[in-house]
Structure 1
Amino acid sequence: MPLRQIAAMQPCWTRLFGLLPIAPTSLSVRLSDGSEHRFVIGKREQWMVDIALARDRLC
């Protein structure tokens, strides 16, 4: 996804079958068109910082 389309990011829970929260290891990324994408990753706080820095450098 293009960095310029990222409107917001927030940490969220990884869910089993999309329902049962099992671990706080996901990152939710909302795009300017309103769509949301979730990623299961390690070090999500660092990912958020790095993505925000890269996005801000484009402006």
Structure 2
Amino acid sequence: MTVRIDQDRCIGSGQCVLAAPDVFDQSDDDGTGLVLSAEPSAGLLPGVRHAVERCPAQAVTLEE
């Protein structure tokens, strides 16, 4: 499974970081989301799925 953030859509709300802090971070430059682990372990997937659901810009995707 692969996690991605569409940088063109990201508005920097930080919901992904709140949902899965081991997988996501925010850029110090502009606040947009960053993927720390593009292929997270199975134990982190519930948080990633929650991040996908919570993203107000629908910028976070999980390809299964």
TM-score, L = length of structure 1? 0.32
Please tell me whether Structure 1 or Structure 2 has the larger radius of gyration of its CA atoms. 1
